Structure 1
C-alpha cells in the first residue's frame, strides 16, 4: 500500500463524514419530489454554483486532461472545446434564467414545455429520457474505471472492490438525502478540492524552475495556435490535428447555443430561488471551476519535470498518481486523495440524483397520473 496510516485515516474520516451528511439531510429531502430533486428552492445560489462546478471536477476527467496537456502541451486547450468550457459564461448571461423560467422539474420535462403536451412533446421527452439514461450508465462506467485505476496505485484492494465500495457509499447518501445531500456534500468537496489545488499549484510554482522547464520541454510545448499536423506527431494523435480542432470547436459552439441543459446543469438552475439567482449560479460555477485548471497544469508540469530528470517516458494516464506518490508529504497526500475521491463522488452523486429524477418524473409520473407525493417519493428511492 502506497499510503500511510495517517493518509488512510484522512480518507476514512472523509467517507464517514459524507455518509453523516446524507443521514442528517434525510428529513428535509423526504417531503416531496420538489425537495428531493430540487431542494425545495431553499438553497443559496453560491452553494448551487459550487455544487455544479464540483460535478465537472471528476477524477477520471482530471486524469484525462493531465494526459492531454502532457502529450499536446498548451495546444491541448483546443480539445477542451469538446466540453464547451466557456459554458458558465453563457449560463450566467441567459441559459440559467431560461431554465428557471420553464418551471419544470427536469430537462426532459422541458421538452414538453418547449414542444407542447401532444404527441411531439411526449415523444421527444421519452426518447431523450431513454437516451440520457443509457448515456449515464456509460458515464458511470467511465468514471468507475478512472477512479479504479487511480485508487489501485495507493490501496491494497482490488480495483473492482474499491469501485463497488465507493458506488455503495455514494449511492447511500444520495438515497437518504436526495438533492440536499448532493449539494451539501459537493460544497464540502469543493472546499477540499480547492485547498488541494491551491497547495499543489503553489508547490509546483516554488519547486519547478521555469527556465529549466522551458529548456526541457521546448518552445513548441507553449504554442497555442492550432496547426494542421503536429511535429513531431504524437503516437496518440496520428490524425490531422487541425481536423480534430475543427470538430472540437464545432461541437463546443453548438453545445453553448443549445437548450439549457438536460442533467445536472438544468437541475442547479431550476433549484435556484429566483431568476437572478439562477444567473448567479452560472457566475459561481465559472469562478470555482477555475481552480481545476491550476491543478491540471501543476500535475502536468510535475510530470514533465520528472520525465526530464529520469529520462523515462511515463504513461500519460499514470502522470497524476505518479506525481502524488513522489511529490506530496504525509498528511497532505491524504487530503489530496480524499479531494480527488470527492471529485469522483461529486460527479457520481449528481448523475444518480438526476437519473432518479428522470425515472420518477419523466417515466413513471406521466403513466401513473394518480400517484401521490408519497408514492412518487417511494419511486425516487427505488430509482
Structure 2
C-alpha cells in the first residue's frame, strides 16, 4: 500500500494508506452505516460523485462477485475504510475488493479513523474533499479542491443513465425465466425512467409480475403518454439516482407532463424527489443525509415500523402535505419518507424497498404498484 493524502473543505488534512485505484479525485464525503453489502453500496449509481465512509470497520472480508453489482460499474469517487481485508472468504466470492476498485477506477483509502470522520460529517455536514496518491502538499490539495466544481453543480444523471432502451428480464436472485414469464403473462408493462436505477429495483419490479422496459433519462413525455393511450404500457416508474434534483430542469419539465395524465406512477429516492419538484414543492438538502441499512420508518397512522435502507442527501419539504398524504416517516429525524398524491394514482418513497435490510421490510410496495398498473 502506498500513501494517500486527504484534504476536506473545512481544512482537515489527513494521511492514510491506499488500495484500489491510484490518482487524484474530488467529491463529496458522506458516511454509510450499513453492516453488510459494501459491494452493492459501492456499485449503486446514486453514489456518483461521492466518497463513501463506511462505519463498519472491517471491509473486504467477503470479496466481490458479479451477481452483487447494482450497475455495470462503480460511479463513486472513493471509499474510506478503517481496516481493509485483502484476504476474503465467502462461498460466493469471485475476487478481492482491491482488484475490483482498480478495475472500476475507484480510490480506496484505509488505515484511517472512520469514527472521527463520521462524527465530523455528523457535526459539520457532508462536505467536498480531495484525495490523492500523487499530491502530498496541503496547500496544493486545497487549491485544487477550491478550483473543482461542487457536486451540486454537476449533472451526474448524464453519466449513469442508460444510453439506449432495453428490456430487463431478471427477477430476484436472477431467476430470469420464471419471473419474466410470469411478468409477460400478466400483460402489465411498465417503463422505467433511468436516472441511475439499481438492478435490484428492476429485479423486484419483474418479480412483482411486471414486464419492464428501461429508457434513458432523456425520455420524452409525449412518447410515453402516446404509448399509454395506445395501451402499450400501463405505468411508469421513476428511479433513484445521484446529485441534486433541482439541477434536473429538463427532466422536471418532462415529469410535469407525466403527472398531468392518468398514468399510474411509482418512484423511489431521486424519482420521489422529482415528483415533489414537478408538483411545485422544491427539495432541500439534509445536513449529512441518510445512508445506511438500518433506518426505521413508520406509517404515521398505523405506526407499523419497517427497517429500511437509505441513500439520499435531499428530502421533500413538509409543504407536500398540501397535495399529498404522508404514508411513511423516518423515526430518526421525522423527515418524510413516502407520500401518495391526492386524487392521483401516483405514490413514491424516499427509502429503498428493494435492499432487503430486514427484519421487517418494504418489498410489498412493489406489489402495490403492480396492482394499479393498467
TM-score tier, shorter chain, comes to under 0.3
TM norm structure 2: 0.25
Larger gyration radius, structure 1 or structure 2: 1
Higher strand proportion (structure 1 or 2): 2
The structure in which a higher percent of residues are helix is 1
TM-score, normalising length from structure 1? 0.24
